[in-house]
Chains A and B, each alone.
Chain A
C-alpha cells in the first residue's frame, strides 16, 4: 500500500442515531469527546472550531448536514502551514443498527497532490514574504 489517502472506521454504539447525532454536531457534544471545547454553526458553509487543552485548535468548515444520517466537514491537514489550501474531508455516516447506531467515519484527501494551484499559492507566499520583509526593511530604514 502506498501513500495513505483514506482512513475508514466503523463502530457500533448502543444509542439511537439521534443521540449520536447530538454528540457529533453540537458544541456540548463535540466538547465532551472530541476536543476540550467546541463552537459550531451547524449548516453547510458554517464553521466550527475545536480547541484542545494545550492550545491546539482546529477550524472546521461544515459541508454536509443531513440530520441524523450524514455529517461532513473539511479541516486542515495537521502540520501544514495555515495558508495551505489542502484540507481533508471527514464524513460521519449514521445507520440504525438494532436499537443502536452503526457509525462510520471516513477521512479522505491525505494524498492530494500539490497541484498547480497549490504551487502558485506556495510561490505566491514566498513572494509575499519577500515583499513583506522588503516593506519592513523600508519601514525601518525610513525611521
Chain B
C-alpha cells in the first residue's frame, strides 16, 4: 500500500494489520528479529543465519518491504541491505497498549483498597 503525503493519512488499523500479518509467519519473525538484534543486513547475510533458501528469504523480504516494515538501501559491493523500519511497529504497539491497559484490575484494586 502507498500513501502520498497529500492523501488521506495512513490508516492505523491497516498499518497494525500488516504488522500482525508479518509477525504471524515464523520466517518473517526470524528476519525481523535478526534485523532488530543485528542491525541492517543483506539477503545473503540473513540466509546464512536462517534454515531457508536465499530465494525464500527474498520473497519474505519483498513482503516485509511492501508492508513498510523494511527499507532497502545500497550496501557494500552493490548488494541491497535491509533495515528495520520501526514506525509501523509503534502503531501496532499502540493497538496492543489499548488491549493491555488493565483498568478493570486497577479499579478492582482501588475498590478493595477503599472498601476493605
Tell which of A3, A13, A15, A107 touches B101, judged by Cβ atoms closer than 8 Å. A107
**Does B106 make an interface contact (CB < 8 A)?**
yes
CB of B95 to closest CB in A, whole Å: 6
Task: Collect the chain B residues with CB atoms within 8 Å of residue A103's CB.
Answer: 107, 110
Given contacts A3-B13, A105-B103, A114-B87, contact A80 B110 (CB under 8 A): no
CA distance in complex: A71, B12 (Å): 29
- 15 new A-B contacts, CB < 8 A, other than A20-B114, A78-B97, A112-B94, are A4-B99, A7-B98, A9-B107, A13-B115, A15-B115, A23-B114, A32-B113, A34-B109, A80-B90, A86-B94, A107-B103, A110-B94, A110-B95, A110-B97, A111-B94
Do B90 and A84 touch (CB < 8 A)?
yes
CA distance in complex: A113, B91 (Å): 8
CB of A88 to closest CB in B, whole Å: 8
Do A9 and B104 touch (CB < 8 A)?
yes
**Does A98 make an interface contact (CB < 8 A)?**
no
Task: Collect the chain B residues with CB atoms within 8 Å of residue A112's CB.
Answer: 94
CA distance in complex: A54, B26 (Å): 30
List of 4 A-B pairs having minimum Cβ-Cβ separation, nearest first? A110-B98, A33-B113, A4-B98, A79-B93
Task: Collect the chain B residues with CB atoms within 8 Å of residue A81's CB.
Answer: 90
Query: What are 6 A-to-B residue pairs whose CB atoms are below 8 Å?
Result: A4-B99, A7-B101, A23-B113, A77-B94, A105-B107, A111-B12
CB of A54 to closest CB in B, whole Å: 15
Given contacts A2-B13, A23-B114, contact A11 B91 (CB under 8 A): no
CB of A121 to closest CB in B, whole Å: 11
Question: Using an 8 Å CB-CB cutoff, how does the interface string of B75-101 with A read, 1 for contact, 0 for none?
Answer: 000000000000100110111111111
